[in-house]
Amino acid sequence: MDCVKLVLFCMLYPFLCQLVFSSSLPHLCPKHQALALLQFKHMFTINPNASGDCYDSITDLSWNKSTDCCSWDGVYCDEVTGQVIELDLSCCGLQGKFYTNSSLFQLSNLKRLDLSYNDFSGSLISAKFGELSSLTDLDLSYSSFTGVIPSEISRLSKLQVLHIRSVDPYVLRLRPYNFELLLKNLTQLRELGLYSVNISSIIPLNFSSYLTSLWLQRTLLRGVLPERVFHLSNLEYLDLSSNSLTGPIPSNVSGLQNLQFLFLSSNYLNGTIPSSIFSLPSLEWLDLSNNSFSGKIQEFKSNNTLDFVSVKQNQLQGPIPSTVCNLKALRVLDLGSNHLNGKIPHCLGEMSGLQVLGLNNNRLSGTINTTFNTKNRIIIINLYENKLKGKVPPSLINCRNLEFLDLGNNELNDTFPSWLGGLPDLKILSLRSNKLHGPISYSRTNNLFAKIRVIDLSFNGFSGDLPVSLFEIFQAMKIIDENSRTRKYIADYYNGSNANNLIVTTKGLDLELPRVLTTYMIIDLSRNRFEGHIPRSIGDLVGLRMLNLSHNGLEGIIPASFHQLSVLESLDLSSNKIGGEIPQQLASLTFLAVLNLSHNHLVGCIPKGKQFDTFENSSYQGNDGLRGLPLSKDCGGDDGVPQATTAVELDDEEEGDLISWQAVLMGFGCGLVIGLSIIYIMLSAHYPVWFSSMVVKFEHKIDTRMKRY
């Protein structure tokens, strides 16, 4: 027996040696595949600044033909054969045309291909993608492809992940019959994302039962929601938002036991919201906003997973159920723009995880009796446009993370809550359109209101002088932040929630800002009862974009320091008692797009040049002493500099008595002695009586004018 084993060993030994030896050798990728990759790369330029929405910086494709392509960035090879099986070129800054006969299609063994977040300059998606028959993952998202998605994609029967998305809506499209064909053949799909692709059809019923993620937002889907979609038991992510879908949500969605994210916003769905939705055990995000749902909000059962709930912009009625406080993990609650009534549940202030509370544009009444405890983490509170009464709740001082507070358009009756200045991160404060009253007295204290960027106290009953000390502590407004490469928004933590919408007034119209840029700096104290002069210190707030002090009782002049507001876009000082001339220095405000100085007591010449050449009559009407373009009264010069004042008659009945009292006053100090001496000599020399009478009248006029001045 031992002899037999020995013979077999001797026979197999050479093969075993070859196997061991061969397995110890590195398997280099085939030369033709390395060449195909290099040819593909050389078809494009690399734009290092084209990261777009990439989380990381641009991947450096430092491919070198002197090294094995399996070691190149983004290239992955089979460990046994050395064939290129994965290619991840996402966020590589590739820029140029993607040709239909690209050398990329020579990589016939590819299983995963990611070309997302590049710029292929409006190239068509090649039908040759359908020849990569081994593909299981294909991502062509956000790379500027356009045109029809070829039906050949449906040949990729092994596909488990397909993402074809576009930033520009509907530049990519499926032919009407292709969507159903796609789903029919791709029976192994786990993830399907066709964001902003023009599908233009009803929702088919032949989805793969393996689906875990379905992104079909903004695809022009129409028709009713089929129950089939809500029976996909493996589904974890469902997004059908921003389409033309109608009808109700099926009453029983309990089959979605694994569903974590449900987005049905911005459709035409109606009916009541099924209670079964709030009972889904794995649900974390629920967005049903901007539809036509009606009825009451269902009771919330204990749910330790719900993180985000938005049903804003519907037609929901009735009270807010106090059982919402059972949602222990809840961070965002946005119920804005409905017809909800009753009181705000007291327990909301006790939800330690809540960060966003949007109850704006409803019919909530009573006092704000919510007591915010010291453990809260709330960042946004929006109670705009309800019927809330009483005082600003003192417990808000416990909201140490608060950045956005809007209590506008209610019936609050209180004095200015200066204690809000103690909130270290408060950036936006709107108390507009309430019954707030009294003077705004504020002492200079370090770091109070230091981060405020928007303060709106308009349409109230505040009185007294403008609060000089308040303007002096607005430290954030004393800086112009123009260095940021990306657009940043205040309190922008959840794109799915617009609880940080803000209403501002410009050109006499209410303007809604969906999100507030960190560069927006706004002061609106209009339509109150403020008096006194405009503080020069406002000129130190060089970051201001909008300043509205209209419809008050302000006097004095426009401070010349306003020329320091170099990024000011809107200035409204209308309907006050402001006098003097418009400072010529304001012509340097090159960003000024809106100017309203109407209905004041301004005089002199309107500045010329730059933005002032664009303003119309309405900016100046109601100022009888103003002259120059665009008004019909000529200023008398072409350079915008005030000209000598034309003399006016002292007495209409006396011909020739044309001495201007302003001119007399200008020379009054030095000419008084000489003038009186001449008059004395004239009288001593027995000049005619008529001349003496005129001199007496003249002296009386001067005395009267001096008393008025």
State pLDDT tens for residues 445-486. 777 899 999 999 999 999 999 988 889 999 999 998 765 555
> Which has the higher per-residue pLDDT, 433 or 696?
433
Where are the chain's structural domains? 661-708
With bands split at pLDDT 50, 70 and 90, how would you rate the model's confidence at 227?
confident
Distance from CA of residue 612 to its chain's centroid? 29
pLDDT of residue 28: 80
pLDDT of residue 588: 93
> Which has the higher per-residue pLDDT, 528 or 651?
528
> Could you read off the pLDDT of 497-517 as tens digits, one per residue?
567 777 777 766 777 676 666
Q: Please give the model's pTM, rounded to 2 decimal places.
A: 0.82
Does 699 have pLDDT greater than 50?
no
CA dist list (Å): 385 to 79, 159, 388, 627? 64, 50, 8, 42
How many other CB atoms sit within 10 Å of the CB of residue 202?
Answer: 16
pLDDT of residue 442: 72
> Could you read off the pLDDT of 613-642 as tens digits, one per residue?
999 999 999 999 999 888 888 886 544 444
User: Measured between alpha carbons, how far is 225 from 245 in angstroms, rounded to an integer?
Assistant: 7
User: Measured between alpha carbons, how far is 498 from 490 in angstroms, rounded to an integer?
Assistant: 12
pLDDT of residue 23: 43
pLDDT of residue 17: 47
pLDDT of residue 461: 97
> Which has the higher per-residue pLDDT, 494 or 339?
339
The per-residue pLDDT of the chain, averaged, comes to 84
Q: Angle at Cα 311 formed by Cα 272 and Cα 495, nearest 5°?
A: 150
> Which has the higher per-residue pLDDT, 95 or 176?
95
Those residues with Cβ within 8 angstroms of residue 332's Cβ, 6 or more apart along the chain or in another chain = 307, 308, 309, 310, 355, 356, 494, 496, 497, 499
> Could you read off the pLDDT of 574-597 as tens digits, one per residue?
999 999 999 999 999 999 999 999
Does 547 have pLDDT greater than 90?
yes
> Could you read off the pLDDT of 389-402 as tens digits, one per residue?
999 999 999 999 99
Strands 461-465, 529-533: pairing is parallel
pLDDT of residue 488: 66
With bands split at pLDDT 50, 70 and 90, how would you rate the model's confidence at 162?
very high
Amino acid occupying residue 484 = S
